[in-house]
Every structure is written in C-alpha cells, then in structure tokens.
Amino acid sequence: MDAEIRRALARVSDADVDAYERDGACCLRQVFESKWLDLIERGIEHDLRDPGPYGRVQSPPDDPGFFYTDYYMWRRIPELRRFALESPAGAVAARLMRSERVAFFFDGLFVKEPGTCKASAWHQDQVYYNVDGEQALVMWIPIDPVSADASLHTVRGAHRWTQRFERRMLNDGRDISFGEDAGAYVPVPDIESRRDEFDIMSFDMEPGDVVVFHPMMLHGARGNPSATRRRRALQATWLGDDAVYGERPGDVEPHITGHDFKPGDCLIDVESVFPRVWPRA
C-alpha cells in the first residue's frame, strides 16, 4: 500500500467507522492533502467556466448570491477524473463501508457564492438514483473553510429510518416521482422550522476535512451567509460490494448509462460503467 494511502487511512479511526455505521455520518479531519485539494479546485473552476450538460443555476435571479450545481463532471474534466480514480478517497470509502471492493459512481458540485440565500432542501440521495444496497457512501468535500452553519447538515441515525422521502428538483421543488410506485414516497418533514426536534449534526470544516455519509441519510444545507467567503464543495459517491441496481418510479438523477442493468444486478462488476478504485490494480 503506498504511503499516501496509509496516511489517509490513518485519519480514519475505528471510532469513525463505528460512528459512520451508527449515526450515518461523521466528519474526518485532514484526509485530503493539498495536492488533491488544488486538483479539485482547478476542476471546479474549470466546470464553472465551462459548465457541463447537467450544470444548473439553483438560485433565483433575485438571490443576492449564486448557487450552482453540476454532476458527472469526472467524465469531462481531467482534474476531477484524476481525483475520482487516483486519490486515496476510494481506500477511505472501502474502510468505512467495510467493503472489499469499491467503484466510483459519480461526482457532484455545490457552489454557493458569498451571500447566497437559496438552501439545499433536506433530502436523501439514494432515492434519486438506481442503487440499492447498504454499501454506498457519499463524501462531501469543501475546498473553502466553512462554518457549521453553512456546511452540510445531517440528521443523526436517519439512514436507518424506513421512510423514503419525496424526490424533488432543487430549484423549483417539482416532484419527480410518477407511475405506480410513486406513492411509496412520503413528504420530507419540515426540519427547518422544527430543528430542535431533530438531532442535527454539522461541523466547522477546513479544506482537507470531509463529511462522509450514507446515501439514505436525510441531509441538507443552508445558504452561504458569509459576505466574503465562497463555499465550494465537491460531492463524490462510491459503491461497495453489495450495491445493486434498483428501480425508481419516474425520473432519476443521475442516470446510469452504458450498460443494460436489471434489478438486482451487481453494479461494481461492470467496470466500464463504475471504474474500480479499490483495491488498486
């Protein structure tokens, strides 16, 4: 195992793995060294200059700031492809998921410029895409210092709740479930106006820190109240041994393309769609 991977894995204690399993999320400190943060920053700026087909402005025109998202950047942007395939992130994901093998699924971008009011509504990620199974993991990687108020918020233990919450577009709140199974989704509780009823976790974070969370976790984020500081975060999602194709009613985001999967098919066996990042070749 190379020294860089050893250093990253040394940042993940047994207590972190237990917290991830028990709470559904935890914050790991100083996992990514500056060379990876520089690469991510260059990749993010590349995407902002040259948005991809999934790039979207999420804030309304009268928002004093600017909120932009994108996904599947790794397919177009060499810096983000390199981070996905070559950084120690895959090894860290393997340890947290206790998975023998890890494949990369997709990346996402969440940029909130200073003064942005638009929030990221509370949601679960896994209901948006065709992945079932326990061994999937999301990393939220800010490249700017971010206060707990403006960073990612998760509800402790919500990955074990049985509900699947309604899937809505971030910019206009449109429900994207339809068809006969659409009724399986229930409204997201109004967490913002009843925050003290929920056990909400959030962290002051520095570049290099990462929040890892299970994709069934209920999570969201406020705007960026800072007058001067940008809030740029890369999201990276990884799949482990038990991740299989699952059906969803209506629209999905992101779409899985490049292979005709059937429900129950093991995803990480298909390396042309989900590049294997752990163990290293």
Beta-strand relationship, 136-142 and 210-213? antiparallel
What residues between 146 and 205 interact with ligand AKG by CB under 6 A?
A: 152
Position 120 contacts ligand AKG (CB under 6 A): yes
202 or 235: whose CB is closer to ligand AKG? Answer: 235
Using DSSP's 3-state secondary structure scheme, residue 72 falls into: coil
Using CB under 6 A, count the residues that bind ligand AKG. 11
H/E segment holding residue 110: strand 102-112
Of 101 and 104, the one with the shorter C-beta distance to ligand AKG is 104
Least Å distance, CB 272 to ligand AKG, is 25
Smallest gap from Cβ 174 to ligand AKG, in A, equals: 17
> Which of 110, 185, 203, 238 touches ligand AKG (CB under 6 A)?
110
Is 221 near ligand AKG (CB under 6 A)?
yes
**Torsion region of 97: left, alpha or beta (phi above 0 gives left; psi -120 to 50 gives alpha):** alpha
Q: Rounded to the nearest whole angstrom, what is the least distance from the CB of residue 140 to ligand AKG in the complex?
A: 5
Could you tell me the smallest distance in angstroms from the CB atom of residue 85 to ligand AKG? 20
List the interface residues with ligand AKG, window 45-104 (CB under 6 A): none
Q: Is 86 in a helix, a strand, or coil?
A: helix
Distance from the Cα of residue 10 to its chain's centroid: 22
Among 70, 113, 125, 144, interactor with ligand AKG by CB under 6 A = 125
| HSE toward the beta carbon, residue 281, CA cutoff 13 A | 7
74, 116, 235, 236: residue in contact with ligand AKG (rule CB under 6 A): 235
Distances in Å between the alpha carbon of 172 and those of 56, 77, 119?
12, 28, 12
Shortest Å distance, C-beta 31 to ligand AKG: 16
CB atoms within 10 A of CB 254: 16
**Pick 145 or 266: Cβ nearer ligand AKG:** 145
**What amino acid is encoded at 24 in this protein?**
G
CB of 253 to ligand AKG, least distance (A): 11
Nearest approach in angstroms of CB 269 to ligand AKG is 26
Asked if 219 and 31 touch (Cβ cutoff 8 Å), the reply is: no
Helix (H) or strand (E) holding 213: strand 210-213
Q: Which residues contact 215 (CB under 8 A, 6 or more apart)?
A: 124, 125, 126, 131, 136, 137, 138, 237
Nearer to ligand AKG, 120 or 177 (CB): 120
Q: Does 226 bind ligand AKG (CB under 6 A)?
A: no
Beta carbons of 120 and 170 less than 8 angstroms apart: yes
Q: Which of 233, 239, 267, 277 binds ligand AKG (CB under 6 A)?
A: 233
Q: Using an 8 Å Cβ cutoff, are 71 and 56 in contact?
A: no
Alpha helices, H only, 50-151: 78-86, 89-97
Q: Which is nearer to ligand AKG, 121 or 273 (CB)?
A: 121
- Minimum Å gap between C-beta 111 and ligand AKG is 9
Residue numbers at the binding site for ligand AKG (CB under 6 A) = 108, 110, 120, 125, 138, 140, 152, 219, 221, 233, 235
